[in-house]
Structure 1
Amino acid sequence: MKGDVSGPLRLFWEKKLSGLNAFDIAEELVKTMDLPKGLQGVGPGCTDETLLSAIASALHTSTMPITGQLSAAVEKNPGVWLNTSQPLCKAFMVTDEDIRKQEELVQQVRKRLEEALMADMLAHVEEIARDGEAPTEKEGGEEEGEDEEEEEEQDHDQEMENV
């Protein structure tokens, strides 16, 4: 059955992904991420790009921990000693230092996102002020635009909570 994840897996399926690239909406090539030096691929024609695809796939399709190929014999003959439930990389460990660095990176990105959202909100407010559109009275005595601004503030607060 096509698309059935419980069925047999093709050996070295990651090679099918080699040479493929991701492009953004402006059709610019999206730079792939750099893998840590401790992650080294095994198997025929294993590149950083195919290794990244294999690890990402394993993270999304498996509930088991990702450890890499634990047998040293896989380097000699991956077709025989391959653990198909693990990506094609040498065994690796994630250290507390790796986790700390990643947490710092996440905090930096969240801070930059918050600053970008605030700058966008301020630019939007300035644009409204520059257009000089005076809000008109609604039936309930509220000015038009207050509800929209309140909704935008709530949306922004919700986005900040999700980050």
Structure 2
Amino acid sequence: MVYIKELLPNPEGKDAGAEWIRIVNDGPEEVSLNGWSVSDASNNTYKIGPISIKPNEVIELGIDVTKISLNNGGDKITLYNQTGEEVDTLGYTETVLEGDIVLSPRLIDYESAGGLSASVIDSGSLIPQNTNMLLVGISIGLTFAVLFIYLSKHLMHPDE
């Protein structure tokens, strides 16, 4: 099955030439993308040329090729086959921070996603590329949790 794997609407630094759409084939057969197309919410369309995508292969379509500029504040990319039938859609409605990737819900293990329901992340999930900031946030959260437990134990039961 061919689908939109991920989007980079707001690359780090200057956006010029760095935005992309990635398409993946997770099926067992090679698929010809000749005549397929991608379009955004404003109906800007790019017709994919004579190319095939092998099983487990990822093809990156950069803005320099597609001329489709992904909006940082929300957009929707749709993939169509050679007959014009919609194959997949990946959208996002929230503002995408610099360097964040919009990931297809097909790639998310909902059970491991912190209890998020499918409806929360069906339109695309933002995955931070800057993991240092993510780790800082987790560390701060854990520090406050430990501090809260310590203080509540000692304030409620000062004798212990």
TM-score scaled by structure 1?
A: 0.29
- Structure 1 or 2, whichever has the larger Rg, is 1
More strand by share: 2
TM-score, with structure 2 as normaliser: 0.30
Greater relative contact order (Cα < 8 A, sep 6+)? 2
